[in-house]
Amino acid sequence: MTKEEFPGWHGTTIIGVRKGGKVVIAGDGQVSLGQTVIKGTARKVRRLSPGGQDVIAGFAGSTADAFTLLERLEKKLEATPGQLARASVDLAKDWRTDKYLQKLEAMLIVTDGTDLFVITGAGDVLEPEHDIAAIGSGGNFALAAGRAMMETDMDAEDVARKAMAIAADICVYTNGKLTVESIG
């Protein structure tokens, strides 16, 4: 089966919210192949601790590809301790220029509690406006819902959880089984 014929993996929503001195990344647990739910409890948000640093990463896309990127990010963080921005730019640059990495199909949201970035295979390291970012098949739903709640009294985790619940109600590739990690 060629890549074009393969039905494709769908099923992730990841959101990152920075509010009130806290940063939260939340992700759903659904993995789908075509119209079939393969797994409902996948962990797509991970805590990384290279060299004692505390970094949280959430991924959308191919799990194997994302794990490869997370390993590369950890190495970059070990080489540049405490510099998430620099490590992220170095990863994006490698991802864009390395023939092996160019084939990887995933996106990342990463935070160290201060910075919040979206990293893509197109070489982008994006710092989101409005202190909120979302990726994956339900990302736009979660982003819109989250932005609407940013000016309420809700804290970062409540915004992330409610935005994910709204995305799960709308996107058939997103479920309500969340992994939530926070810093701050």
pLDDT recorded at residue 10:
54
* Residue 6 in this model has a pLDDT that exceeds 80: no
More confident residue, 101 or 179: 179
Cα–Cα separations (whole angstroms), residue 94 to 20, 37, 122, 131: 33, 33, 10, 26
**Which residues, other chains included, contact 104 with Cβ-Cβ below 8 Å and sequence gap of 6+?**
61, 62, 65, 68, 69, 95, 121
Assess whether pLDDT exceeds 90 at residue 58.
Answer: yes
Per-residue model confidence as pLDDT tens digits over 22-38: 999 999 999 888 888 98
Q: Is the pLDDT of residue 82 over 50?
A: yes
The reported pTM is: 0.91
Tens-digit pLDDT profile for residues 108-123: 999 999 999 999 888 8
Distance from C-alpha of 77 to C-alpha of 68, rounded to nearest angstrom: 14
Catalytic residues: 12
The rounded mean pLDDT for the chain is: 90
- Answer yes or no: CATH 1.10.540.10 is held by domain 9-174: no
Residue 1 in contact with residue 122, Cβ under 8 Å? no
Reported as a single tens digit per residue, the pLDDT across 156-183 is 999 999 999 999 999 999 999 999 999 9
Distance CA 100, CA 38 (A): 27
Helices (H), the chain: 63-79, 84-97, 139-149, 156-170
* Average pLDDT, integer, range 87-92: 95
Mean pLDDT is lowest, of 14-18, 39-43, 47-51, for 47-51
d(CA 48, CA 158): 23
Helix (H) or strand (E) holding 56: strand 55-61
